[in-house]
A and B are shown apart, each in its own frame.
Chain A
Amino acid sequence: LAKTTQPISMDSYEGQEVNITCSHNNIATNDYITWYQQFPSQGPRFIIQGYKTKVTNEVASLFIPADRKSSTLSLPRVSLSDTAVYYCLVGSLNTGGFKTIFGAGTRLFVKA
């Protein structure tokens, strides 16, 4: 399984755009990139998933360069309620679909 590396923590202010980058140098051809959000004492919640280029949904965008060795989660105009831990996962149905490995994640703190 590809190992992921993320910043341990980030601070931001309400209304700002936040970009969290994840490195995954050993990503395999079949691997997808998935991001989860976790609030204290709750289970993680799926945010977005992508394979290449750019994916956008109602809460975030995911940017993946051509070499796929990194990815950036972009949260537009964050609010206080976006304070959480964000996890980047890399895997595929055959290898990562079951053997999901969560790293330490990035603790985002949004200030007023």
Chain B
Amino acid sequence: ETGVTQTPRHLVMGMTNKKSLKCEQHLGHNAMYWYKQSAKKPLELMFVYSLEERVENNSVPSRFSPECPNSSHLFLHLHTLQPEDSALYLCASSQVRTSVNNEQFFGPGTRLTVL
């Protein structure tokens, strides 16, 4: 257990559906991240929130919409996805400090399949 939980663990959706992924961290961290990991590809950073403000958006299509209502929760809203969006979606959190590089704690991920 890393202190970061994600729900659901598995999700199957059609291209016209709307769904949301949820991430919650119980570590008191001040930064949260969404990553995408496709089969046999490196992790791709999608979004970063620091102190509930989005500080990074790596050219992610608008069909992915993040939301960070507070420092403990992060959502990824999905709509009109494509089959190539099928992947493992990972959430992470970290405590940004001034002296060291921030260690990220990852959740177990949501395995998303788009039909």
Contact = CB atoms under 8 A, between A and B. Distances in A.
Q: Which of B2, B33, B104 has the most CB of A within 10 A?
A: B104
Interface residue SS majority, chain A:
loop
A45 interface: yes
Contacts of B42: 87, 102-105
A93 B103 contact: no
Interface string A89-106: 001110011111111110
Interface string B78-94: 00000000001011101
Interface residues of B, number: 31
Nearest to B96: A97
Contacts, number: 66
A97 B111 contact: no
Given A43-B92, A104-B42, A98 B55 contact: yes
Interface of B: 2, 4, 31, 33, 35, 42-43, 45, 48, 50, 55-56, 88, 90-92, 94, 96-98, 100-109, 111
A42 B101 contact: no
Interface in A57-112: 87, 91-93, 96-105
24 contacts: A32-B100, A34-B101, A34-B103, A41-B88, A42-B109, A43-B106, A43-B107, A44-B104, A45-B2, A45-B106, A49-B103, A87-B42, A92-B101, A93-B97, A93-B98, A97-B102, A98-B55, A99-B45, A99-B56, A102-B35, A102-B43, A103-B42, A104-B42, A105-B42
Interface residues on chain A, size class: 20 to 34
A46 to B, nearest CB: 5
